[in-house]
Homo-oligomer: A and B are copies of this chain.
Amino acid sequence: MRILIVEDEIHLAEAVTQILKKHNYSVDAVHDGSTGLDYALSGIYDLLLLDIMMPEMDGISVLRKLRTKGVATPVIFLTAKGEITDMVTGLDYGADDYIAKPFSTEELLARMRAVLRRKGEVLPDDALKLGDLELNTTNLRLSVGGKEMKLNLKESELLELLMTRKSAATSKEQIIEKLWGFDSEAEHNNVEVYISFLRKKLTFLGSTVRISTIRNVGYVLEVNG
């Protein structure tokens, strides 16, 4: 189950990310509306948590753009107290629920479960596929044809990130943010090490997918051998 949180208060976003990961959701966090829109447009998410008040592009605009572009991913708005009118407008624009900040972990989880249940999202197994690769992010197994092997958490998160970004290059900074957290002091070399581990495993499995390097930019998956 893949969740996107769009929230400009970085610490709140980080806290929610941690909580959801503890409950085995796959989580991406971004901190402004237009980036959030880009990510959400990929259509890979099962649920969006959208802050309403944000600089640049507010949550309601993000939602409106998404819906006009035909993306129907369920949305829960995060609202500060006193934004009730915003909230009402939000529900008008097709949000599925809202939560007033501050909220408890339990309330967040309950509402997410409720929305997901209402939407009847029973994904048989959320496996990511690209080329001959199949990554099951619920049990960290990667398979090519019949062959299968286990990944560890960071390998899995890295591959997941690359697979969901599709043909767009992913920078080392983005990778560090996702794997180590936004305020981490991880070095570029850490990323290189895990890229190396992954390449070794892709080769071992005989996949036709390769991780190609774009100097000074980042990494991209190439589907064809």
Contact = CB atoms under 8 A, between A and B. Distances in A.
Interface of A: 22-24, 38, 41-43, 69-72, 97, 104, 106-107, 109-111, 113-115, 117-118, 125, 136, 138-140, 150, 152-153, 167-171, 173-174, 182, 214-218, 220
Contacts of A174: 23-24
B24 A72 contact: no
B168 A139 contact: yes
Contact of A139 (B41, B152, B167, B182): B167
A8 B104 CA distance: 25
Contact of A217 (B114, B153, B169): B153
Contact of A140 (B107, B111, B113, B214): B214
A160 B118 CA distance: 25
The 7 closest A-B pairs by CB, nearest first: A70-B114, A43-B110, A138-B168, A42-B106, A153-B216, A22-B173, A139-B220
